[in-house]
Amino acid sequence: MTPRPLSPTLPLLAALALAGCLEAGRTGATSDTLEADTTTGCTAESCDDGDPCTWDECVAETGLCQHWQAPMGAREAPWVECSADTECDDGDPCTLDRCALDDACGYGARCVHEAADGCYGCQQTGCDDGNPCTLDLCLEDGSCDFVPAEDCAYGCGGSDVTSHLDALYSMTPGASVKLAGFVRADYEVSCDGDGCGCATLPALADGTGDSIALTPSPSIIDAQWSCSQDHCINASPLCEPLHYDASYWVWGTIEDRYAYPYAGGADAPSGAPRPPSDLLRVWDYCLQTTETALIGRYSGTFTTNAYPDLTFTLEGVMALDDTGALALTLSEPDCPTCGQTAIGYAFPQTVPVEVGDGWISFALETPTICNALYPPPVATLASHRNTLSGSYQNAPIGTGSDGDVAYCAAGQLSLTRLP
């Protein structure tokens, strides 16, 4: 039955109804107030009586306001009953959580979550880059900052253990470590009624032949991290993102592979002690920047301030010269529209390469925007995963109106290792 509003001619009953709004446990959907606004042409806003216990309605047919008692189920959601503030924690650091014990409508105490002042950005979502080697900080402006943790393998550079045996036997599961080695195939064989198949997984091996299995973390997982073959062979396959037989620095978290299902690896070799750890969960990796590790073929991109709107493609080869030093040969950049005389004079070129801990550097002949002769710019490329990338520039020649420093020759260069 549709509830009927109280008549304005019954002030005594209206007063009793208003008092009833405060009675505990009252949840009916009947009208408990008078038609307080008798002015025609009402609106939803003008009918708001400020009473949290009522629904306020403007009746279009009469132009009058009506106020109905709101049932408990129609109140603010979610309605969580409580008896103390400690029961109302919603896990959000940006809300003030309290138990409203003074509920005016008599429905009992409920949890209320109010927005905290100055709380936004990472203060609401938190900061987590998934890397155990960073401290995840939430700054006052709501942005995240990830700071390298002390005593934790991080960044691209030399390893922090002398061999894989150090990692296998001296590191406990859960520890962070950075290793140097070359990637080789680590075969996992599975057989069924139709014969045997082989999944080729990467392992990091050092010069002594010791190796540790590599498994990607969620942050770098790739569909091509492992390769599938019809049968197991001794030849190493070529897979991405890691290139087999290439040398890397790899860092991550030591884990015990025997604690997880692993075909063919349930038991240690007969008579050999089982190492406490034998798997590295990879958080990141990069090419080693040593003379011998960098030998190989590369593809790349190249920009120059002489042609600010163009990006060129080129090829590169790193090899040892007659003196045993590392040298880089760069092909002529592919530029169908700029003409041979504009960029072809500087390429191909072969330059000596200086290697550092996670970087390489070399002088680079490039187009210039100046008429005067200047020494060639120096390119410094940092190693990350399979790519060496960075910028090059020569001495500055001034500052533009926008405050940017101007160079005769400057740009970006990126070289990615090919299998």
Q: Is residue 328 part of a domain?
A: yes
Tell me: the pLDDT tens digits for 83-131?
888 888 877 767 788 887 655 566 667 787 777 776 767 766 677 776 7
- What CATH number should be reported for the domain holding residue 306? 2.40.128
Identify which has the larger pLDDT, 233 or 28.
233
Q: On the CB side of 45, how many CA atoms lie within 13 Å of its CA?
A: 0
Task: Check whether residue 203 and residue 241 sit in a common domain.
Answer: yes
Task: Check whether residue 272 and residue 322 sit in a common domain.
Answer: no
Task: Check whether residue 178 and residue 274 sit in a common domain.
Answer: yes
d(CA 146, CA 109): 42
Task: Check whether residue 337 and residue 367 sit in a common domain.
Answer: yes
Task: Check whether residue 261 and residue 312 sit in a common domain.
Answer: no
Pairing of strands 378-384, 359-363: antiparallel
Pairing of strands 211-216, 227-229: unpaired
DSSP secondary-structure letter at 87? G
Task: Check whether residue 226 and residue 303 sit in a common domain.
Answer: no
Q: Is residue 97 part of a domain?
A: no
Identify which of 225, 253, 227, 261 has the alpha carbon closest to the alpha carbon of residue 241.
225
d(CA 23, CA 81): 17
d(CA 136, CA 416): 30
End position of a domain, from candidates 260, 287, 314: 287
Q: Is residue 139 part of a domain?
A: no
Q: Is residue 152 part of a domain?
A: no
Round to the nearest angstrom and report the end-to-end CA distance of the chain. Answer: 79
Q: Is residue 94 part of a domain?
A: no
Task: Check whether residue 269 and residue 349 sit in a common domain.
Answer: no
On average, the pLDDT of the chain sits at: 75
Q: Is residue 146 part of a domain?
A: no
DSSP secondary-structure letter at 261? -
Count of domains observed in the chain? 3
Q: Is residue 80 part of a domain?
A: no
Residue with tokens 């390893």: 159
Task: Check whether residue 278 and residue 329 sit in a common domain.
Answer: no
Pairing of strands 279-287, 211-216: parallel
Domain housing 260: 164-287
pLDDT (average), residues 8-21: 36
Distance of alpha carbon 176 from the chain centroid:
19
Task: Check whether residue 273 and residue 303 sit in a common domain.
Answer: no
With contact defined as beta carbons under 8 Å apart, do 259 and 280 qualify?
Answer: no
Tell me: the pLDDT tens digits for 178-188?
899 999 887 76
Per mean pLDDT, which of 67-76, 202-211, 291-300 is the most reliable?
A: 291-300
Task: Check whether residue 210 and residue 228 sit in a common domain.
Answer: yes
Task: Check whether residue 279 and residue 304 sit in a common domain.
Answer: no
Task: Check whether residue 367 and residue 343 sit in a common domain.
Answer: yes
Tell me: the pLDDT tens digits for 343-352?
777 889 999 9
- Work out the pLDDT band at 263, boundaries 50, 70, 90: very low
> How high is the pLDDT of residue 353?
97
End position of a domain, from candidates 234, 252, 287: 287
End position of a domain, from candidates 287, 317, 337: 287
With contact defined as beta carbons under 8 Å apart, do 100 and 112 qualify?
Answer: yes
Q: Is residue 199 part of a domain?
A: yes
Question: Does this model's pTM top 0.85?
Answer: no
- What CATH number should be reported for the domain holding residue 246? 2.40.50.140
d(CA 175, CA 118): 37
Tokens of 191: 């057989």
